[in-house]
A and B are shown apart, each in its own frame.
Chain A
Amino acid sequence: MAPAEPLLAATGISKHFGGVVALADVSFDVRPGEVHCLAGENGSGKSTLIKVIAGVVAPDAGTIGIGGELFHHLTPRQAIGLGIEVIFQDFSLFPNLTVAENIGLAAQVADRRKVVRPRVVRRIAAEALERIGVRIDLDARVEDLPVADRQLIAISRALARDAQIIFMDEPTTALTWREVEALFRVVESLKERGVGLVFVSHKLEEVLRISERITVLRNGVVAVTGDVTRFDRAAIVKAMTGRAVTDARPAESVRSSEQPLLEVEGLGLQGRFKDVTFSVQPGEVVGVTGLLGSGRSEIAEALFGVTPADAGSVSVDGRPVRLRSPQDAIKAGIGYVPGDRLTQGVFLDQSIGRNIIAGSLDRLVGKLDLVRPGLAQRTVDETATGLRIKMSSADAPVRSLSGGNQQRVALGKWLARDPHVLILNSPTVGVDIGSKHEILELLQAKSRDGMGIVIISDDVPELVAICHRVLVVRQGRLVGELSGEQLTEETVLRELAA
């Protein structure tokens, strides 16, 4: 069967920013009823390509063919008019408006309406939600809804504007795997309607499942493109990174007879979690996973004193500790890399060097409590080298780094302190494959040096790859523990779903 005529064909797109080549002679097309995956590491040119097609950025060269017409560049309004919709990672919704308005107004504004009739807006929204078969209260304010609902609203909004081609930027990062399943059902129904979809994703398992075709960008050029059946995981990773990366590495066994580094006994917080008991041995990597709202993040925050627990006890190195605040936790030797690194993990506008020493200033001071510049510099250099942070200089702001390197800085801030126990919440969300691999390797190296590591995550393959044990949380209770032979992706998923 000959492939259908493409809905959109971008040909020979090039774009420079100053002296940097973002895209060089990139061609990309989307056919009706297919999912075309756009993969590539951070900085490979994916976002620039989307922006060119959405009319946000004008290309230096190349053409965009759509609906039999050829454009040298588009404006955002033109792109919307031609049926191109981009669902950004933040969904770009209006938190203060109702579901109906979020969906309906966007359609009306695209039609250049001057008068708003609430009944029409409601009808448009109801129809759009109906089309993807979901039920969400039309009168609810978006700010009161969970992330998964917001995603569906963003999709409905695109449909309400007669989208022919929908770009989804990292659509699954904020979703639990159960919600991802629901999203994929919606995607299948869109395919049946002949909509062309473009997925931008770091999660290769998903990419391979849902896509018909895949295009991998590397350094602004198309590294490889073709039917997804021709690729396996290793081939995609190689195309993305330019080198072979193996991901599945069985974790080594732990010396178990020693005094546990961290002992948690009957930890509880009213209404959040209860009776949480576990321990972490020196050199052990323990994973904690659970569905959205299961309490997995609350447990981590309780251990770091952010939202202190109201029952149970915690010991570090055999000494009982009281964790009423992050200061207590730090004093006890616990470090915490939060899930939302952009708002909680790093100071974006401060330099890389300052970020790295921010967590350990008390160890770098001399007389009069003044920071000793030489010692500080040495700490920065050692940490940056150890973490292999790609930077022009330690004085550059963290904002200028890619997602993977930002996460390394967040990590470096704690490693410079050398905590006994390091707790990480979703450490590789939004991090590209190459960096992810290196971050996980680094954590393993630290654990071999005797650090106890607790990883909160719903990235099951990642947990299976690096954890000695995985604890499963359901409705605020530890309901399962998997280790050794029993620890596989399948068993974890089964525990989660039970």
Chain B
Amino acid sequence: MTTASDAGQRPWLSRLRGSNNEGILALTILVLCVGVGVVEPSFWSVRTMLNVASNSMTNVIFAMGVLIVIISGGIDVSFMAIGIFCGYSVIVLTNETGFGASSAPVGFVLAAVIGVALGVLNAAAIAGLHLPTLIVTLGTQGIIRGAMLAYVGSKVIPDYPEGLDKLSTNYLVTATGTSSTRLSVLIVPAVLICVLVSLLLRYTMVGRGIYAVGGDAESARRAGFPVVGIQFFIYLFAGLLAGVAGLIHVTRVRLANPYELVGGELDVIAAVVLGGASIFGGKGSVSGTVLGVVLISLIRNSLILLGVPGSWQRAAVGLLLIVGVGAQALSARSRRTSADLVAEGAPA
């Protein structure tokens, strides 16, 4: 039927480039590492690697949730609010009731359950009422954060329940030097979640359905995909991931601060978009997203090394987001004109 040569003139090149430009991203990361390493030799160290990994572990889980939302053609700005709500609430709840205080897994199950419950808000408004995703999640972001500060608490809590306290000082790797840098064992669940999401997107009907809905929701409905069900799944699952990511963050920093996370959406969304997920829906991959998160983290790390102030770092990430979206729009436009040429004279 078809041969490899049909796919493109230079298949090895297109494979290296990846279907979502993963190759270009990997190359960018490499160039960045070499460049910064030349200017600032201290960049080339185990410390940097551990730092980047530590800084990426929560964002990569948030990014998995954002990835599936973006593939389906939506956008989510409520995930950080869900994350901090779950992380902070679990600490407060466990401290007050003593329920599952000695077991960290119980805390994570609790965070996941709260995350799913908050995801219902998004799912009901988006899948049930067909409201636009940006507006809905902007609204739920406000509701969730406000409700947390009003009902759960607004104080910074330094005391942790026993189970999570132990987990927070459990390190996988420790690098010693002038100051020691350590990598939390929580990187393991983060990696597992990435693998899980990758399998889900590739090998399950729900996963392929997410791509189908992102490609054309009406066509998906006509083809027999349960579109409303898929949308419910997307926002409940994104809520679950945000809940887990939130508790990992709170555990890692060892200080439950309800004012954290919200406002950090930019880094995650920029990472997903730079990772090749199409803001128009229908495209995106886990490997690309992971690379995107690493790239953002690396850039922030290098900017710190080079002595660039924090406000400029934020501007740099914002610029990257625009560059990522701009590149997508440009390639979509050139793709469209070439398709128009083929379909010349045809009505839509």
Given contacts A96-B214, A97-B211, contact A143 B339 (CB under 8 A): yes
Q: In the complex, are the beta carbons of A96 and B283 less than 8 A apart?
A: yes
A46 within 8 A of partner (CB): no
Q: In the complex, are the beta carbons of B224 and A109 less than 8 A apart?
A: yes
B209 within 8 A of partner (CB): yes
Q: In the complex, are the beta carbons of B203 and A116 less than 8 A apart?
A: yes
B282 within 8 A of partner (CB): yes
Q: How far is the CA of A243 from the CA of B115 in the complex (A)?
A: 66
Given contacts A108-B205, A110-B224, contact A93 B219 (CB under 8 A): yes
Q: In angstroms, how far is the closest chain B Cβ from the Cβ of A108?
A: 7
Q: How far is the CA of A456 from the CA of B219 in the complex (A)?
A: 31
Q: How far is the CA of A137 from the CA of B203 in the complex (A)?
A: 22
Main SS class of interface, B: helix
Q: Which of B215, B224, B346 contacts A97 (CB 8 A)?
A: B215
0 or 1 for each of B143-155: is its CB under 8 Å from A? (1 = yes): 0000000000000
Q: In angstroms, how far is the closest chain B Cβ from the Cβ of A2?
A: 36
Q: How far is the CA of A157 from the CA of B215 in the complex (A)?
A: 17
B216 within 8 A of partner (CB): yes
Q: In the complex, are the beta carbons of A147 and B343 less than 8 A apart?
A: yes
Residues of A within 8 A of B207 (CB): 116
Q: In angstroms, how far is the closest chain A Cβ from the Cβ of B58?
A: 29
User: CB within 8 Å of B: which of A115-143?
Assistant: 115-118, 126, 129-130, 135-140, 143
Q: In the complex, are the beta carbons of A293 and B342 less than 8 A apart?
A: yes
Q: In angstroms, how far is the closest chain A Cβ from the Cβ of B119?
A: 21
A41 within 8 A of partner (CB): no
User: CB within 8 Å of B: which of A303-346?
Assistant: 339-343
Q: How far is the CA of A77 from the CA of B206 in the complex (A)?
A: 17
Q: In angstroms, how far is the closest chain A Cβ from the Cβ of B333?
A: 13
Q: In the complex, are the beta carbons of B1 and A135 less than 8 A apart?
A: yes
Q: Which of A80, A94, A144 contacts B215 (CB 8 A)?
A: A94
B159 within 8 A of partner (CB): no
Q: In angstroms, how far is the closest chain A Cβ from the Cβ of B285?
A: 12
0 or 1 for each of B186-228: is its CB under 8 Å from A? (1 = yes): 0000000000000000111111110110111011111111000
Q: In the complex, are the beta carbons of A95 and B216 less than 8 A apart?
A: yes
Q: How far is the CA of A137 from the CA of B347 in the complex (A)?
A: 24
B96 within 8 A of partner (CB): no
A113 within 8 A of partner (CB): yes
Q: How far is the CA of A101 from the CA of B342 in the complex (A)?
A: 22
Q: Which of A86, A94, A110, A341 contacts B282 (CB 8 A)?
A: A94
Residues of A within 8 A of B219 (CB): 90, 92-94
Q: In the complex, are the beta carbons of A109 and B205 less than 8 A apart?
A: yes
* Among A16-24, A61-69, A425-433, the stretch in contact with B: A425-433
Q: Which of B2, B338, B345 contacts A456 (CB 8 A)?
A: B345
Q: In angstroms, how far is the closest chain B Cβ from the Cβ of A128?
A: 11
Q: Which of A90, A97, A130 contacts B1 (CB 8 A)?
A: A130
0 or 1 for each of B280-317: is its CB under 8 Å from A? (1 = yes): 01110000000000000000000000000000000000
Closest to A54 in B: B222
Residues of B within 8 A of A108 (CB): 205
Q: In the complex, are the beta carbons of A174 and B347 less than 8 A apart?
A: yes
Closest to A126 in B: B1
Q: Which of A76, A88, A425 contacts B345 (CB 8 A)?
A: A425
Given contacts A94-B219, A138-B1, A144-B335, contact A106 B345 (CB under 8 A): no
A7 within 8 A of partner (CB): no
0 or 1 for each of B313-348: is its CB under 8 Å from A? (1 = yes): 000000000000000000000010011011111111
Given contacts A96-B211, A114-B204, contact A296 B216 (CB under 8 A): no
Residues of B within 8 A of A426 (CB): 345, 347
Q: How far is the CA of A255 from the CA of B275 in the complex (A)?
A: 65
Q: How far is the CA of A87 from the CA of B342 in the complex (A)?
A: 21
Q: In the complex, are the beta carbons of A297 and B2 less than 8 A apart?
A: no
Q: How far is the CA of A88 from the CA of B2 in the complex (A)?
A: 27
Q: In the complex, are the beta carbons of A146 and B343 less than 8 A apart?
A: yes
Residues of A within 8 A of B281 (CB): 96
A467 within 8 A of partner (CB): no
User: CB within 8 Å of A: which of B157-209?
Assistant: 202-209
Q: In the complex, are the beta carbons of A298 and B2 less than 8 A apart?
A: no
Q: In the complex, are the beta carbons of B348 and A96 less than 8 A apart?
A: no
Residues of A within 8 A of B129 (CB): none
Q: In the complex, are the beta carbons of A292 and B282 less than 8 A apart?
A: no
A173 within 8 A of partner (CB): yes
A284 within 8 A of partner (CB): no
Q: In the complex, are the beta carbons of B282 and A95 less than 8 A apart?
A: yes
Closest to A87 in B: B222
Residues of A within 8 A of B215 (CB): 94-97
Closest to A341 in B: B347
Give the size of the chain B interface in residues (CB under 8 angstroms).
40
Closest to B1 in A: A126
Q: In the complex, are the beta carbons of B344 and A143 less than 8 A apart?
A: no
Q: How far is the CA of A429 from the CA of B214 in the complex (A)?
A: 30
Residues of A within 8 A of B206 (CB): 114
0 or 1 for each of A377-401: is its CB under 8 Å from B? (1 = yes): 0000000000000000000000000
Q: In the complex, are the beta carbons of A173 and B224 less than 8 A apart?
A: no
Closest to A173 in B: B347
Q: Which of A76, A101, A339 contacts B222 (CB 8 A)?
A: A76
Residues of A within 8 A of B205 (CB): 105, 108-109, 113-116
Q: In the complex, are the beta carbons of A76 and B335 less than 8 A apart?
A: no
Q: In angstroms, how far is the closest chain A Cβ from the Cβ of B194?
A: 19
Residues of A within 8 A of B202 (CB): 116, 118
Residues of A within 8 A of B282 (CB): 94-97
Residues of B within 8 A of A116 (CB): 202-205, 207-208
Q: How far is the CA of A117 from the CA of B208 in the complex (A)?
A: 11
A34 within 8 A of partner (CB): no
Given contacts A97-B212, A173-B347, A340-B348, contact A92 B2 (CB under 8 A): no
Q: How far is the CA of A93 from the CA of B216 in the complex (A)?
A: 8
Q: In the complex, are the beta carbons of B342 and A106 less than 8 A apart?
A: no
Q: How far is the CA of A110 from the CA of B205 in the complex (A)?
A: 11
Q: How far is the CA of A163 from the CA of B203 in the complex (A)?
A: 26
Residues of A within 8 A of B208 (CB): 97, 101, 105, 116
Residues of B within 8 A of A115 (CB): 203-205
Q: In the complex, are the beta carbons of A92 and B223 less than 8 A apart?
A: yes
Q: How far is the CA of A374 from the CA of B278 in the complex (A)?
A: 49
Residues of A within 8 A of B348 (CB): 90, 340, 342-343
Q: In the complex, are the beta carbons of B344 and A298 less than 8 A apart?
A: yes
Given contacts A94-B212, A116-B204, A426-B347, contact A146 B224 (CB under 8 A): no
Q: How far is the CA of A254 from the CA of B194 in the complex (A)?
A: 73
Q: In angstroms, how far is the closest chain A Cβ from the Cβ of B264?
A: 29
Closest to A298 in B: B344
Chain A CB within 10 Å — which of B216, B223, B345, B347 has the most?
B345
Minimum-distance CB pairs A-B, first 4: A96-B282, A94-B215, A92-B219, A96-B215
Which residues on A are within 8 Å of B, measured CB to CB? 76-77, 80, 86, 88, 90, 92-97, 101, 105-106, 108-110, 113-118, 126, 129-130, 135-140, 143-147, 157, 173-174, 176, 292-293, 296-298, 339-343, 425-426, 429-430, 456, 458
Extra contacts besides A92-B219, A140-B6 (17): CB < 8 Å: A77-B224, A92-B223, A93-B216, A95-B215, A96-B215, A113-B205, A114-B205, A117-B203, A129-B1, A136-B2, A139-B2, A144-B338, A174-B346, A292-B342, A292-B343, A339-B346, A340-B348
Write 14 A-B pairs (CB below 8 A) sorted by A numbering.
Answer: A96-B211, A96-B282, A97-B212, A105-B208, A109-B209, A114-B206, A118-B203, A130-B1, A138-B1, A140-B6, A144-B335, A146-B342, A146-B343, A174-B347
